[in-house]
Amino acid sequence: MAGALTDRAVIAVSGPETKSFLQGLITNDIGRLAPDGPLYAALLTPQGKVLFDFLLNEESGTVLLDCAAASSPALLKRLTLYRLRAKVELSLRDDLAVLWNDGGSRDPRWAGLGTRRIAQTSAADASAEYLSHRLSLGLPEGADFSSDKMFALDAGLEELQGVSFDKGCYVGQELTARMKHRGTARKRLLPIETVDENPLPPGADIRAGNLSLGEVTSTYGTRGFALIRLDRWQEAGGAVAQAGEQDLKIVRPAWLAGAAAS
């Protein structure tokens, strides 16, 4: 399947100080960005919580941010506030589209996500197919994080190649680094699905027996994501998880293979 992701937008950052401007803001190392190598990153609050996540692409000296269309005006406004006297120009590029196909492996987060690129072209809408593909991999993004609600490491940004721990300062870096080195990131945003065909209850608390495991953060019919305490999930063993009266299956996706309960 190939087509345009119509729920994505493109913000262009250009000018002689583009990379130094972004380096002081985003979670990943802009030095790793190359014309043939996109980068995944996020912009955090000073307290280390995710505001926006996006993919960065480099084209003829301009950095193009592939971001959620619904939050693109807010992201552009936030970048403009941080610009101050930096020699950069920021613009929402309505003439550009994010194209995706499920073949190849040109996505820096996880090879199974397929290939995406930015181009001046029109194509059939593939947003529904991409969402289904992403959910099948249990990979969160955008609205699954709930803006200003979730710490970067709880959101899985480390496992999804979205954080650099040796790049120097950026907004929210101090708390993110502290959570990493003290091992206090005990939660992860995990895919969930109902055991039957009933839809997931949005925002519901998740329990297994007497243990509180976390809460539902986003829903897509019978599937969704929940912020889960890994240690309590491990403690619950084989106990059935529930959101209200709904029996759930909590999945440890392949991209999270390296995360152990703390």
Residues 128 and 19 in one domain: yes
Question: Of 59, 78, 168, which is closest to residue 117 (Cα–Cα)?
Answer: 59
pLDDT tops 70 at residue 157: yes
179 belongs to a structural domain: no
Residues 130 and 16 in one domain: yes
Quickly state the pLDDT bin for 261 (edges 50, 70, 90): very low
Q: Which two tokens stand for residue 182?
A: 């003290």
Quickly state the pLDDT bin for 131 (edges 50, 70, 90): very high
Three-state secondary structure along the chain?
Answer: CEEECCCEEEEEEECCCHHHHHHCCECCCHHHCECCECEEEEEECCCCEEEEEEEEEEECCEEEEEEEHHHHHHHHHHHHHHHCCCCCEEEECCCCEEEEECCCCCCCCCHHHCEEEEECCCCCECHHHHHHHHHHHCCCCHHHHCCCCCECCCCCCCCCCCCCCCCCCCCCHHHHHHHHHHCCCCEEEEEEEECCCCCCCCCCEEEECCEEEEEEEEEECCEEEEEEEHHHHHHHCCCCEEECCEEEEECCCHHHCCCCCC
Residues 129 and 191 in one domain: no
Residues 36 and 136 in one domain: yes
User: Per the structure, how many domains does the chain have?
Assistant: 2
Distance CA 194, CA 251 (A): 11
Q: With contact defined as beta carbons under 8 Å apart, do 183 and 261 qualify?
A: no
Quickly state the pLDDT bin for 113 (edges 50, 70, 90): very high
Q: Which two tokens stand for residue 192?
A: 């969930």
Kindly tell me the sign of the dihedral angle through the C-alpha atoms of 134, 135, 138, 139.
positive
Quickly state the pLDDT bin for 121 (edges 50, 70, 90): confident
Please give the pLDDT value at position 262.
35
Residues 133 and 200 in one domain: no
Q: With contact defined as beta carbons under 8 Å apart, do 157 and 195 qualify?
A: no
- Last residue of some domain: 86, 116, 142? 142
- Last residue of some domain: 117, 142, 167? 142
Please give the pLDDT value at position 260.
43
- What's the domain range around 87? 2-142
175 belongs to a structural domain: no
Give per-residue pLDDT as tens, 73-105.
Answer: 999 999 999 999 999 999 999 999 999 999 888
Burial of 14 (0-12, 13-18, 19+ CB in 10 A): middle
Please give the pLDDT value at position 257.
75
- Residues for the chain: how many in total? 262
**Average of pLDDT values for 25-47?**
96
- Mean of the per-residue pLDDT values of the chain: 94
Q: With contact defined as beta carbons under 8 Å apart, do 53 and 44 qualify?
A: no
- Predicted structure pTM score: 0.94
16 belongs to a structural domain: yes
pLDDT tops 80 at residue 107: yes
Give per-residue pLDDT as tens, 210-254.
Answer: 999 999 999 999 999 999 999 999 999 988 999 988 999 999 999
**Average of pLDDT values for 18-22?**
97
Please give the pLDDT value at position 29.
98
